[in-house]
Amino acid sequence: MYRLILITRYLLKRRITHFAIAAVALCVFTVVVVMTVMIGLVGGFKEKNHAFVGDCVVGTESLVGFPYYEEFMTLVEHSGLVQGVSPVVKSYALYGTEITDNYDNVEIVGVDPVRHSQVTNFAQTLDFNGHQPQKAFVPTYDANLPGCILGINRVSRPDPRGQYVHYDAPFRASVTLMCFPLNAMGALVGAGTNPTVTKRFYYSDDIHTGIAAVDFGYVFLPLDQAQLLCMSGQEKRINALYLKFRPNVGLQEGCRQIAELWRQFQADKAGAPNSFLLEGVNVQSWKEYRRAVVAPMEHEQLMLSMMFTLVGITTVFIVFVVFYMVVNSKKKDIGVLKSVGASNTGVLSLFQGFAFGVGLVGSCVGIFFGWLFLTRINQIEQFCYKHFGIQLWDRTVYVIGAIPNQVDPSALAVIMSCAILACLIGALVPSYLAVRLRPVETLHAGRM
């Protein structure tokens, strides 16, 4: 009981303690704000990538692709593991328009829009046909023309606030795509003459995923058109199957079972024409499949955390100094306590409890002000942009909408724990010095 009374008294009466609380609060505030924004960006980016490819991908890096995918799709659909499967053709093409002389590179993705919408957020990201993805490749101005879906940056540019101009309906525009069609052996079709295929498509919709590479450089085509453009041969081929698991199927377990199904399927197909193409196919979870794009952002987050840990050392120093002062000025209290029977453990827990209190109050104050700042961070940015032309991110350069400001309770718990731990570490040596004090020395007349 005496410990609680003393801790409360020290917290309220010792003004120097307030500096330690202020230092802890300052650090916690900064860390909460920066990490919330970072976690929001990384989490949002991961979520967008997850939504873009579904839960699991059975695919190959080779643009030659693999055959017999329809049989495997049937197998997977009957396994009870998935709620949707979407075959995908992925390749590169040269992209030309009616208004420019030059062609640029794009990544073309051939999909069945209905199937793809069952597996990914494809329909939700369409500008015009979100509610009827089956019509996504049908130009409204002429239903007989072959349609294509363009990344939104190919038809519109974001304003400085990141907003795109949206039209009521797709305007009439054609694009020309040139590809290297590959046969099952990986050889160019028509080699010796001109081994390329050129086809014109018409703008039927655009897609806004929030993933820069997709919004800038992707063109979606009907699956059969993409197969014609990029592949040739007896068996139809694709480059990947995107899968969405049923809600009761875990990611790792689902991927493991699909991998097992694939091994069996591959074994069954041994000896079939071009079955060697099945060998280069991997089964990956969305995390593995998109690791190359997601991992750098996770590293950024890690590096920022490491830097804040270094800065947090200063907080440990401040707590150390404050507690050193408190112990020095409270020698008589400690002497009295020990002379009336307080144990060494009791004195140690008194100062560690005090440190806990400093950490708790400091981190609560820091979190409160951090939360207050975060709830207004977008308004503050808008105000700064309106009056001073300052933006945290130029939205014409970065594919970032509003600044993420959703506080993550688990991150708060970690930050608070770290702040309290820093206080406990900072108070450790002064607490030990307090424990070693001898009442006879602190209470003798000369010192009184």
Partner 1 sequence: MLKLFLWLKYVRRRRIMLLSVVAVAVSVALLIAVASLFTGFIAAFEHSAVEAIGDIVMRAPDGVRFEKYPQFIQRLEQSNLVEAATASLTAEGLLRIEGGNVRPVAIWGIEPQSSARVIGLKDALICQGKAAGEPSFAVPDAPQETGGFVGIAVLTKPDEQTDQYDKEAVCKEMLNKRVVLMAGTMELDAKGERIPHRSTIPFRIVDIVFAGTYLLDSSLVYVPLDVLQKELYPRETSPVATSINIKLKPGTDPDRAVEQIRALWRTFATNELNWGPMAVGLTTIRTSRQMQRLYIAEFEKQKHVLEVTFGVISFSVVVLVFCIFHMMVKLKQKDIAIVKSCGAANSSVIGLFVGFGVSIGVAGSGLGAALGYAITRNINEIEGWISILFGLKLWRSSVYMFSHIPNQVDWNSALLFAALAMAAATVGALLPAVAAARTRPVEVLRHE
Residue 143 interacting with partner 1 (CB under 8 A) = no
Nearest approach, Cβ of 93 to partner 1 (angstroms)? 7
Q: At a CB cut-off of 8 Å and minimum separation 6, what does 342 contact?
A: 2, 350
Is 3:346 a contact under the CB 8 Å cutoff? yes
Interface mask (CB under 8 A) for partner 1, residues 215-254, using x and -?
----------------------------------------
Residue 405 interacting with partner 1 (CB under 8 A) = no
Residue 437 interacting with partner 1 (CB under 8 A) = no
Applying the rule CB under 8 A, the residues between 47 and 66 that interact with partner 1 are 60-65
Q: Tell me the residue ranges of DSSP E strands in 144-269.
A: 147-151, 174-179, 197-207, 218-222, 240-245
Q: Which is nearer to partner 1, 163 or 314 (CB)?
A: 314
Residue 22 interacting with partner 1 (CB under 8 A) = yes
Residue 160 interacting with partner 1 (CB under 8 A) = no
* Integer angstrom CA distances of residue 267 from 73, 81, 243, 270, 279: 16, 21, 21, 5, 10
Rg (C-alpha) for the chain, rounded Å, is 31
Instruction: Compute φ and ψ for 199, nearest 5 degrees.
Output: -145, 145
Among the residue ranges 77-85, 267-275, 307-315, 339-347, the one whose residues contact partner 1 (CB under 8 A): 307-315
The contacts found for 16-20 with CB under 8 angstroms, 24 or more apart, are: 16/322, 16/325, 16/326, 17/322, 17/326, 17/358, 19/318, 19/322, 20/318, 20/319, 20/322, 20/323, 20/358, 20/362, 20/423
Nearest approach, Cβ of 409 to partner 1 (angstroms)? 23
Residue 289 interacting with partner 1 (CB under 8 A) = no
Residue 100 interacting with partner 1 (CB under 8 A) = yes
Contacting residue, 4, 12, 16, 372, with partner 1 by CB under 8 A: 16
Among the residue ranges 116-124, 194-202, 339-347, 415-423, the one whose residues contact partner 1 (CB under 8 A): 194-202
Among the residue ranges 18-26, 70-78, 359-367, 378-386, the one whose residues contact partner 1 (CB under 8 A): 18-26
- Report how far residue 81's alpha carbon sits from residue 102's, in angstroms, rounded to the nearest whole number: 46
Q: Burial letters for 234-260: b for 16+ Cβ neighbours within 10 Å, e otherwise?
A: ebbbbbbbbbbbeeebeeeebbebbee
Residue 397 interacting with partner 1 (CB under 8 A) = yes
Nearest approach, Cβ of 420 to partner 1 (angstroms)? 17
Contacting residue, 8, 198, 375, 417, with partner 1 by CB under 8 A: 198
3-state secondary structure of 81: coil
- Report how far residue 323's alpha carbon sits from residue 425's, in angstroms, rounded to the nearest whole number: 11
Residue 7 tokens read as 């801790």
Nearest approach, Cβ of 74 to partner 1 (angstroms)? 25
Contacting residue, 54, 96, 151, 170, with partner 1 by CB under 8 A: 96
* Closest of 167, 178, 170, 165 to residue 97, by C-alpha: 178
Residues in touch with partner 1 (CB under 8 A): 16, 19-20, 22-23, 26-27, 30, 34, 60-65, 91-94, 96, 98, 100-105, 107, 176, 178-180, 182, 185-188, 194-196, 198, 292, 296, 299, 302-303, 307-308, 310-311, 313-315, 317-318, 320-322, 324-325, 328-329, 392-394, 396-398
